[in-house]
Structure 1
Amino acid sequence: MKHVFLLLWLWFPGFAAPPAPLQPLQIAEQFVAPTGWADMKDYLCCEAAGQARQETLGQQIPARLQRSCELLRQGDSTAVVAVELRDPAERRDFYLHFAKEGTAWKLQAIRNLAMTHLGPPMVELLSALPPAEVAEYDRKHPDASHAFTVGNLRLWTAADADIAAHFRKNKADFRKLLGLVQAGNYFVADSLAAGEKAANAAPAVHALLRKLYLSRVTRRETGCTSCLEFVIGGKVNSTVGLLYQPQPAQLPAMTPERLIMLRPLGEGWYLYKTT
């Protein structure tokens, strides 16, 4: 009798199995698609539910932009999906944070790096300076030259793909910088602030930081006391940089409140953003 019932369940539409719950990547792809999504509200919670009441994020984004989604991490109860928007002129990134409610995944929050709109006008202004004013700028800013400042601003506001390309292009110098910081044992002292100051003041470390358009090395940005963070820049607490931690188990968790993105670059290196 049990086998007869199983055959009926398989053959008749009325006994069809319920659809599998949507996974975070599937929800993200629906949420950023240019068309509407009738079931959107079933997959939103928390602040995301208040932000997308009538339209999906995809409907609010200009239709000309191409969109691609990438799952950065999915655990038992949280997940993060990176979304890239692009057209021939630019690329932009933001991050969807998910939480699991029972057996269902819900979009919890949408995050991106704040205040990057301040960068392009500053780059345009600095790039337009005549040679005499560039020389004067360098004289007044011996620790951060005109060339470094322009390069740093461009990297701070760059798309994730462009920062990753910068890392790959200069991997040998990043490895050298890492080796200098590790050999100096700057962050093993009792005072983290003193170690950070000494590391950034070391001539060889400072020279490579400037060459790579990095503002400083620290251990205070992501909440990971065992990681080395090479900060590109940012405003207030919204920063972007490169993180080194060869042990995946010691990586900090991504959260909407602090570490909004952690993207692997290989060999223990990660691109990170905070808010």
Structure 2
Amino acid sequence: MSRFLATLILLTFYGIGNAQEFEPLELVQKVFKDKKFARKTNRYSTREYKGHPNANDLPTNTKLKFQLLDKSENTAVINITILDTLGKGIDTYAHLEKGKKWKINALRALAMTGFMEQAMLEMEKMTEEQIDTLIQKDDGTFKSKEDFYRKLENIKLTLALDHTIIEHFEKRREKFEELRNELQNTEFNKEEQSYRKINLGDQIKTDYKRLLINSISTSISCENCFEFIIGGMIDNTVGFFYIPNKQDVPKMNPSRIIMIKEIGNGWYLFKTT
């Protein structure tokens, strides 16, 4: 073999090895599905993500689903749905940034869920007699059995997988649209200092809690935009946006809005931390 040919072959292999870059979705899939690749995640991690969890940290028979939620020139967000053999699991969100190549900088999921999970389990175990006793207490937590069971369903929805929450919306889309119309026709102070984040719950007639919504407010994003909070703890919330113009939809980031999914016709599912 001539020296020229040998040099050409070496350069070809060198070029292939160094040209190996991954797009965000492909990178996240390899980190969480390829156990061999996952041993090298330090090459594709930055900031607070130190390479764990990865494929080698997940239980055997874990089922994974991946969805690209957003990609710009320098940032991307990938939804990772992690399921056990019974189909139960959680949605997590990998946030990526691009320097010379794409790297994962943070993993996020709805935080502070332990208290809600414990409350749900305790409520599910209660007998009808225990529920009656709870309602009769003077603290006003629950005014009726309907109120009790609605709260239980609200907690379940808050903890549900994203596709389940979106299904909840789609089955009741007509009611949500009616609620939005009522909000748009509601008169309230639009002075700039008081316009953003006005609590609208007491200003409308619709019983929005039947839709398993805990609170409604104007949005900081834009005029005629609304937030429908399902539930959560402190700043860790799940809910729906109504934002008619797509350019007004806020950007996802690891420190505040960790996930946004478009549902259609101006509606979005979101989570914060």
TM-score range, shorter chain: 0.7 to 0.9
Q: Distance in 2 between matches of 1:152 and 1:111?
A: 22
Whether 1:125 aligns to 2:127 is: no
Q: Distance in 1 between matches of 2:34 and 2:116?
A: 28
Select which of 54, 58, 62 maps to 2:59: 62
Equivalent position of 1:257 in the other structure: 255
Q: Distance in 1 between matches of 2:236 and 2:150?
A: 20
- In the alignment, residue 217 of structure 1 is paired with which amino acid? I
Residue correspondence of structure 1 range 85-164 to structure 2 within 5 A: 85-87=82-84, 88-102=86-100, 104-135=101-132, 137-138=134-135, 140=140, 141-142=142-143, 145-164=147-166
Deviations 1:133-173 (A, max 9, x none): 43454563349910221011111111111101111111111
Q: Distance in 1 between matches of 2:235 and 2:31?
A: 28
Whether 1:22 aligns to 2:22 is: yes
CA gap 1:129/1:115 in 2 versus in 1, 3 angstroms: same
SS class of match (1:257): coil
Deviation for aligned residue 1:81? 0.3
Deviation for aligned residue 1:107? 0.6
- Identity in percent: 24
Q: Distance in 2 between matches of 1:83 and 1:241?
A: 19
Equivalent position of 2:205 in the other structure: 204
Equivalent position of 1:239 in the other structure: 237
SS class of match (2:260): strand
- What TM-score do the two structures reach when normalised by structure 1? 0.84
CA gap 1:174/1:194 in 2 versus in 1, 3 angstroms: closer
Select which of 174, 177, 182 maps to 1:175: 177
Q: Distance in 1 between matches of 2:189 and 2:97?
A: 35
**Aligned pairs, number:** 255
SS class of match (1:121): helix
Poorly superposed stretches of 4+, deviation over 6 Å: none
- In the alignment, residue 269 of structure 1 is paired with which amino acid? W
Q: Distance in 1 between matches of 2:250 and 2:46?
A: 24
- In the alignment, residue 73 of structure 1 is paired with which amino acid? D
Gapped regions of structure 1 (runs ≥ 5): 1-7
SS class of match (1:270): strand
8 Å CA contact 1:36–1:56 kept in 2: the answer is no
- What TM-score do the two structures reach when normalised by structure 2? 0.84
Gapped regions of structure 2 (runs ≥ 5): none
Q: Distance in 1 between matches of 2:204 and 2:171?
A: 23
Cα RMSD (Å) = 2.5
- In the alignment, residue 156 of structure 1 is paired with which amino acid? T
